[in-house]
Amino acid sequence: MKPKTFVFIGPSGSGKGTQAHLLMDTLKKDDPQGKILYVQSGQELRDFMKGDSYLAKLTDKTLSSGGLMPSFMPIYIWGNFLVKNYTGTEHLVFDGTPRRLSEAEAMDSMFSFLSLEKPVIIYLAVPLEESVKRLLLRKRYDDTEEDIRKRLSWYETDVKPALDHFRNRTDVTVLDIDGNRSVEEIHADIIGKLGLK
């Protein structure tokens, strides 16, 4: 199987991580010899925050107060991950990026530079109140209802334009997935639309 690229986009609490892992399990069955790079920007950023550098501490302070990172940071995080790990032969699965138009444009330049063939954007659509409910159940340190609603409002103003950017491209496929169903139904829908088994 030729290496494929998948990008999960959706509001916080839409199940991107869960569906990314299920897709990777399917890829492993379909392509047992293939390797997969899972680019989980949120986790990479949290790992980065544990460092002692000035930027690590500033990142921690910004996110702990419910702030939004400048776009160069997530681009650096996933760009640095690819520089260190990508060999040109792996399937790529992105989870948690891009979160705004400038990041989508940077990702486009990466698609082109790496000659990635027809990347697939998997958009998990979930109603606002459902996202809030799921995030409150998750109980992360930064998940007060006020912070959750602030993050979800950024989704409308920042992430939607990134998604629209991909919709306007002919060299990228966008799959619209109803994320307000069971995990199994969503996974089956994604696999069916991708033509995987």
Domains of the chain, CATH where assigned: 5-194 (3.40.50.300)
Pair 126, 13: CB distance under 8 Å: yes
> 8-17, 53-62, 64-73, 84-93: which has the minimum mean pLDDT?
64-73
Q: Kindly tell me if the per-residue pLDDT of 143 is higher than 70.
A: no
Distance, in Å, from the CA atom of 39 to the CA atom of 187, rounded to the nearest integer, reads 19
> 52-61, 63-72, 119-128, 163-172: which has the minimum mean pLDDT?
63-72
Instruction: Name the percent of the chain lying above pLDDT 90.
Output: 63
pLDDT in tens, 98-110: 988 999 999 999 9
Q: How far is CA 158 from CA 9, 87, 97, 169, 173, in A?
A: 12, 31, 11, 18, 20
Name the strands in the sheet holding 120-125, side by side, starting at the edge strand that comes first in the sequence: 36-40, 91-95, 5-9, 120-125, 173-178
- Phi, psi (deg, nearest 5) at residue 53: -70, 160
State the average pLDDT over residues 141-166: 80
Helices (H), the chain: 16-30, 41-49, 54-64, 72-85, 101-113, 128-138, 145-154, 160-167, 183-194
Pair 6, 95: CB distance under 8 Å: no
Q: Kindly tell me if the per-residue pLDDT of 140 is higher than 70.
A: no
Predicted TM-score (pTM) of the model is 0.88
State the average pLDDT over residues 83-94: 96
pLDDT in tens, 34-82: 999 999 988 888 899 999 999 999 998 988 877 778 889 999 999 999 9
Q: Is the dihedral of CA 147, 148, 153, 154 positive or negative?
A: positive
Q: How far is CA 51 from CA 59, 66, 116, 171, in A?
A: 10, 19, 32, 38
DSSP characters over 76-96: HHHHHHHHHH--S-SEEEEES
Pair 69, 62: CB distance under 8 Å: yes
Mean pLDDT of the chain: 90
Place of tokens 């509001």: 11
- pLDDT at position 129: 80
Q: How far is CA 127 from CA 95, 134, 181, in A?
A: 19, 11, 11
Q: Kindly tell me if the per-residue pLDDT of 147 is higher than 80.
A: no
Q: Kindly tell me if the per-residue pLDDT of 131 is higher than 90.
A: no
- pLDDT at position 141: 61
